[in-house]
Amino acid sequence: MLCPIGIAAFGSQNCLFTLGTIHMAVAAKLRKPEDGPQPSAVSTLAEKKQAAERAAISANVVYEAIRREGEEELKRPSAALAWSGLAAGLAMGFSLVAEGLLAAHLPESVWRPLISKLGYSVGFLMAILGRQQLYTENTLTVILPLLLRKNLATFFAVARLWAIVLFSNLLGAFLFALCIGKIAMFNPHVQQTLLSVSQEGSADGFGVVLMRSVFAGWLIALMVWLLPGAESSRVGIIIIITYLIGLGGFHHIVAGSNKNFFLVVTGLESWGHYLLRFFLPTLAGNIIGGVSLVAFLNHAQVVSGKGDKNAA
């Protein structure tokens, strides 16, 4: 004969076991898919490694790579920045020469710019792949440290770098234009083509130049944003972006100054026209395009993403 106390104990154990089973079943139903292992098409370690290597790097990684580059540039001595900027300004002169040479050897046709504007990319390739200081790249790289540390020390460091690099870029561009403008390096046909190429867009008004410069600054800063994840595609990205700038007639402060300097030294344009109709609107537009449309927006997306992760 069973003891009533034993029966009660046995019944309570069965009840607890049943409740535990029900609780586990309900929890399994409610568990989010991401809480458990995800289905995958790869099974071996080698396949998983290959998938990881081919995955696109995140915006946070791109941001950090560009920020670190900006931090290094801000620490460089003024002399190093000046020499590097001068080299970049001289190299950018080959954008005018390459475009002019291509145009000079092509027939007069509506499709000629589709080929000749490829020459516009040459100077950018030299300056960027040669790791030379180009002013419009710094509308992104050194701005990220400033957005992260909003203090006077970083602000003055950015202002120092901008002033040195811009001045040395323009000095290099002027020396290059002075050389090809005063020395008969090319035959008359090529020289005339260089003048024609340089005069493109010179009659645009202040507002038009400003807006076209915004697009140029936007595209250059986007190019800088794309390069950390480009790997073997760096050359292609530089050519595509700068070709678009040239073909669209967008104004770049260094490449465009080289063309305007060439017109000044040959007597076809005045310094006043260069300063008021090109330099001021182009500089303002490049800064707006690079800083506002790329640096601010990409900084915002990274910072907002970190906030969401911290909240989770």
For the cut 90, the answer to whether the pLDDT of residue 28 exceeds it is no
CA dihedral 197, 218, 205, 280 (to 10 degrees): -100
Q: What pLDDT score was predicted for residue 292?
A: 85
Please state the rounded mean pLDDT for residues 180-187: 93
Round to whole Å and give the CA distance between 174 and 169. Answer: 9
Structure tokens at 235: 């050359």
Q: What pLDDT score was predicted for residue 95?
A: 97
Please state the rounded mean pLDDT for residues 213-221: 96
In three-state secondary structure terms, 36 is coil
The larger pLDDT score, comparing residue 131 to residue 42, is at 131
Q: What pLDDT score was predicted for residue 19?
A: 44
What's the whole-model pTM score? 0.80
Round to whole Å and give the CA distance between 106 and 82. Answer: 37
The larger pLDDT score, comparing residue 9 to residue 237, is at 237
CA dihedral 260, 262, 267, 272 (to 10 degrees): 30
- The chain-wide mean pLDDT, for the chain, equals 85
For residue 139, what pLDDT band results from cuts at 50, 70 and 90? confident
For the cut 80, the answer to whether the pLDDT of residue 180 exceeds it is yes
Q: What pLDDT score was predicted for residue 16?
A: 41
Look at residues 120, 304, 149, 144 and name the one whose alpha carbon lies nearest to residue 228.
144
Look at residues 190, 168, 173, 164 and name the one whose alpha carbon lies nearest to residue 254.
173
Look at residues 100, 163, 185, 139 and name the one whose alpha carbon lies nearest to residue 298.
139
CATH topology of domain 59-309: Glycerol uptake facilitator protein (1.20.1080)
In three-state secondary structure terms, 95 is helix
Question: Cβ of 26: how many Cβ atoms within 10 Å?
Answer: 10
Round to whole Å and give the CA distance between 73 and 133. Answer: 9
Of the ranges 46-50, 224-228, 273-277, which one carries the lowest mean pLDDT score? Answer: 46-50
For residue 86, what pLDDT band results from cuts at 50, 70 and 90? very high
Task: State the angle between helix axes of 234-248 and 206-226 in degrees (0 to 180), rounded to the nearest 10.
Answer: 170
Percentage of residues in the chain having pLDDT higher than 90 = 68
Round to whole Å and give the CA distance between 150 and 155. Answer: 7
Round to whole Å and give the CA distance between 296 and 134. Answer: 20
Contact 168, 195 (CB under 8 A): no
Domain locations in the chain? 59-309
Amino acid present at 306: K
Tens digits of residue pLDDT in 7-27: 344 444 444 444 445 445 444
Q: Give, in degrees to the nearest 5, the angle at Cα 95 between 89 and 96.
A: 100
Look at residues 99, 93, 107, 90 and name the one whose alpha carbon lies nearest to residue 196.
99
For the cut 60, the answer to whether the pLDDT of residue 203 exceeds it is yes
The larger pLDDT score, comparing residue 143 to residue 19, is at 143
Round to whole Å and give the CA distance between 126 and 104. Answer: 22
